[in-house]
Amino acid sequence: MIKKINSTVAVKLLAITAIIFASCSINKKLAESSHKKPAIQSAPREFRAAWVATVDNINWPSKPGLTTAQQQQEAIALLDFLKDYNFNAVVFQVRPQADALYKSSLEPWS
């Protein structure tokens, strides 16, 4: 009975040792492959956009009651800022509260 227990323990220890060595070699391979930098190619055209919210003066205009000229200056400054940071598209909210920021024959109450 004692020899059987010893051989069982030996087989279990051998199996555990084999598992440990096998997992070490797998981890080494994973570690080696994770240090390699993948060749990432940039897309020929990227869509780098900013959303400009106009409802409640979140992004533009900065406060209610600005004149047309002041709003234009703020809009140009905002667009220049986005251009400086390499944005190539602007999604500009033009109907902030179911109305329009421009004269509209479709919605004359705007």
pLDDT reading at 33 higher than 70: no
Averaged pLDDT for residues 89-99: 84
Do 66 and 92 lie in a common domain? yes
Do 17 and 58 lie in a common domain? no
Do 55 and 7 lie in a common domain? no
Is 12 in contact with 19 (CB distance < 8 Å)?
no
Do 54 and 87 lie in a common domain? yes
Domain residue limits at 79: 41-110
Do 10 and 64 lie in a common domain? no
**106 falls in which pLDDT band (50, 70, 90)?**
confident
The confidence score (pLDDT) of residue 25 equals 56
Q: Provide the domain count of the chain.
A: 2
Give the residues across from 51 on adjacent strands.
91
Do 73 and 34 lie in a common domain? no
